Structure 1
Amino acid sequence: MYSNGKNVTHSGSGRLAGNLITFAVFFVLFVAAIYSLSFWTLENAWLPTIACFVLTLLAFAVPMTFMGRGDSHEVSAQK
């Protein structure tokens, strides 16, 4: 499929390094969220739980909400 003279089938090609870096950053956030639960005790439950929630929110919400918008623009009609 072509749009504006460009092949849109391979629109993500050439972005491997950026994709790997982005994956690594958000995967580290997710692992840190799981690691924060290792500090959870009955005496100290609030801080690790809040840290896990915030880190998990960052690890999942940021990529899905802000970074996944590359295909949400409206395609203009070709003339």
Structure 2
Amino acid sequence: MSNGSYRRENNLAQSVVLFVIFFGLFIGGIFAMSYWSLESFAHAFVPGGIAFGLVFLALVIPMTWIGRSDSAGE
């Protein structure tokens, strides 16, 4: 029963830019994990914290603040 007037949240260019930004954060987090070492506390905590922080930002921001809200379309 669609009337054919589908309204998008954002345009293609904005979607591509957001994808590139958050995919870059995710890849940066994975790259930071390559420096993770258990030899000392500083070598374990700093790259691990950066990695988890980047991956957290890459996943949580798009799913919560940028994602489609429940009230969209009302």
What TM-score comes out, normalization by structure 1 length?
Answer: 0.75
Give the deviation of 1:40 after TM superposition. Answer: 1.0
Among all aligned residue pairs of Structure 1 and Structure 2, give the percentage whose two residues are the same amino acid: 33
Give the deviation of 1:23 after TM superposition. Answer: 0.1
Q: 1: CA distance between counterparts of 2:10 and 2:64?
A: 23
Amino acid at match of 1:67: I
Aligned length: 69
Give the deviation of 1:14 after TM superposition. Answer: 6.7
Between Structure 1 and Structure 2, whose CA radius of gyration is higher?
1
Divergent runs of 4+, >2 A:
none
Q: Output aligned runs, 1:40-79, within 5 Å.
A: 40-43=36-39, 44-69=43-68, 71-73=69-71, 75=74
Residue from 17, 20, 34 that aligns with 2:13: 17
Q: What is the RMSD of the two structures over their aligned residues, measured on CA atoms? A: 2.1
**Structure 2: which 5+ residue stretches go unaligned?**
none
